[in-house]
A and B are shown apart, each in its own frame.
Chain A
Amino acid sequence: MKLQPEPQMPRVWRRESKPHRFCPGCGHPLALKALGEAVDDLDWQDRVVFGCDIGCSLLAWDFFDLDTVQTHHGRTLPVLVGLKRVRPELVPIAYMGDGGAYAIGVQHLVSAAARDEPVCSLVVNNAVYAMTGGQMAPTTLPGQKTETTPYGRDPALSGHPLKGAEMVAAVAAPEAYVARGSVANLRQLKRYLLRALQNPHFSLVEVLASCPTNWRTNAAETWEWVEKEMPRYFPLGELKGGVREEERR
């Protein structure tokens, strides 16, 4: 039942592991497409190391022809920080869900940003804990129903959604790069990722992404959510510009 490799697959995608394991309509493979193209454009297959968290991100453990390490939930950043400290020539990227990055691993994220560790994070914000079956995530929107907010997220009880990119921008060094893109605009997302990967400082790109399985939405509703609802709370754009090419020389 092997599908023909899609002609538009990034070079760095591993053919043997396709078709991938994400659900139809999932945002993960779109984010990974933008990432793959960015790595292709830079021709950095020899130096990018891919780290994935526990969450649906772990389904990408053999996604790329890149050296990859799959770690514990929330612990991807510290693993890659250690790697980068002993192998400065490598370009590690931590691929995490919003739960991994902004809840269980938030202490690692904040500390890495504050210390300006030169690693890159790609955080998939799908507003739920997807892998464990659709519980509330730090990013769940007010009123949004999940398995653990069966009556809708009530900010009076469980607080407001966490704006992770803004939080990181607030604690990160001036040279850090922080941006928020969306799987609804892959060209923009790829542009952000190119800057993040090339920034020799801490960088984070959050990407708004779909999870139709746990949202229980049809195709039209899913896109409505990603394109219209989510950006209302999580505005797209660059929050911190990093070090530009010209400044680096």
Chain B
Amino acid sequence: MSIARIVLGGEGGQGVQTIAEILAEAAYRSGLEALYIPNFGVEQRGGVSLAFVQLGDEVVAVPKFRRAQVVVALSDRAIQRTADYVTRETTFIYEASAAVDPSFLPREAGRLLPVPAVKLATEHLHPRVFNVLILGTVVGVVDMVEETALKAALEGLLGHKFALKPELRELNYRALGEGRELALTA
């Protein structure tokens, strides 16, 4: 795989764009080529938020694509909205509690990977690190991004929050770790 194409979808406030931005930044810091573009439009207010990320060892010249190797859906609406990007090669990562109606899950996906991120974050960590846990799973699945680069990217985006509350850093690292483990075991 020379370029990994990843689509992420969720409700406003779930932190989809943050995941995408950290992921792309981490890939860039790992010495990979990376390109990230959010969807934006008037429908975004109150609609599903989508992010497109591509990373790999080839120059990424075109920002959008039709099929993805990894699809991440964080809400029931996002599961439906991202279905078009799924092929038989796709790993479909989704928030376990969002699959209210399992018949909407894309059966054709090569691998369906439910992640109980809301539950884990709420019970073990903090509800706020829900999206970082998901990020951990994505990184585990894609397996191209270096750990130090990931932490540096996290620092770049959330450093100002860590500065105020240093214990947040550790919390985020743990979320990353738990997420990554899910990629391997689930």
Task: State if A and B touch, Cβ cutoff 8 Å.
Answer: yes
Q: Which residues of A contact B (CB under 8 A)?
A: 1, 20-23, 56, 58-59, 131, 213
Bound: A205/B77 CA distance, A = 38
What is the distance, in angstroms, from A204's C-beta to the closest C-beta of chain B? 26
B46 x A22 contact (CB < 8 A) = yes
Chain B positions within 8 Å of A56 at CB level:
45
The reply to whether A23 and B46 contact each other, CB–CB distance below 8 Å, is: yes
Residues of A within 8 A of B46 (CB): 20-23
Say yes or no: A59 contacts B77, CB within 8 Å.
Answer: no
Q: Please, how many angstroms separate the alpha-carbon atoms of A20 and B47 in the complex?
A: 11
Q: Which residues in window 19-74 of B have CB below 8 A to A?
A: 42-43, 45-47
> What is the interface size of chain B, counting residues whose CB is below 8 A from a CB of the partner?
7
Please indicate the chain A residues that have their CB under 8 angstroms from the CB of B45 in the complex.
21-23, 56, 59, 213
- Give the CA-CA distance A14 to B10 in the complex, in Å: 27
Known contacts A21-B43, A21-B47, A131-B42; 8 additional CB pairs below 8 A are: A20-B46, A21-B45, A21-B46, A22-B45, A23-B45, A58-B42, A59-B45, A213-B45
Closest to B44 in A: A21
Chain B residues within an 8 Å CB radius of A21? 43, 45-47
* Cα distance A23–B47 in the bound complex, in angstroms: 10
Which of B45, B47, B76 has the most A CB atoms < 10 Å from its CB?
B45
Q: What secondary structure prevails in chain B residues at the interface with A?
A: helix
Q: What separation, in Å, do the CA atoms of A102 and B85 have in the docked complex?
A: 44
A1 to B45, CA, bound (A): 17
Interface set, chain B 82-119, CB cutoff 8 A to A:
none
B20–chain A nearest beta-carbon distance, Å: 18
For this complex, 17 residue pairs linking A to B, each with C-beta atoms less than 8 Å apart, are A1-B76, A1-B77, A20-B46, A21-B43, A21-B45, A21-B46, A21-B47, A22-B45, A22-B46, A23-B45, A23-B46, A56-B45, A58-B42, A59-B42, A59-B45, A131-B42, A213-B45
Alpha-carbon distance between A130 and B43 when the two chains are bound, in angstroms: 14
Closest 5 pairs (CB-CB, A-B) = A21-B46, A21-B45, A23-B45, A58-B42, A59-B45
**Which residue of chain A has its CB nearest to the CB of B12?**
A23
Q: Which of B46, B76, B77 has the most CB of A within 10 A?
A: B46
> How far, in angstroms, from A58 to B42 measured CA to CA in the complex?
9
Question: What distance in Å separates the Cβ of B46 from its nearest Cβ neighbour in chain A?
Answer: 4
Which residues of the other chain, B, contact A20 by a CB distance below 8 angstroms?
46
Nearest chain A CB to B133's CB is how many angstroms away?
Answer: 25
Q: How far is the CA of A22 from the CA of B42 in the complex (A)?
A: 11
Query: Which residues in A have their C-beta under 8 angstroms from that of B77?
Result: 1
Cβ contacts under 8 Å, B43 to chain A: 21
> Closest CB-CB distance, B29 to chain A, in whole Å?
27
Instruction: List residues of chain B with CB within 8 A of the CB of A58.
Output: 42
Give the distance in Å from the alpha carbon of A213 to the alpha carbon of B76 in the complex.
23
Closest to A54 in B: B42
Expressed in whole angstroms, the Cα–Cα distance for A213 and B46 within the complex equals 12
CA gap between A58 and B47 in the complex, in Å: 15
A20 to chain B, nearest CB (A): 8
Tell me the bound Cα distance from A1 to B46 in angstroms: 13
Q: Which residues of B contact A131 (CB under 8 A)?
A: 42
Given the complex of chains A and B, what is the CA–CA distance between A159 and B45 in angstroms? 31
CA distance A23 to B42 in the complex (A): 12
Task: List chain A residues, Cβ under 8 A from B42.
Answer: 58-59, 131
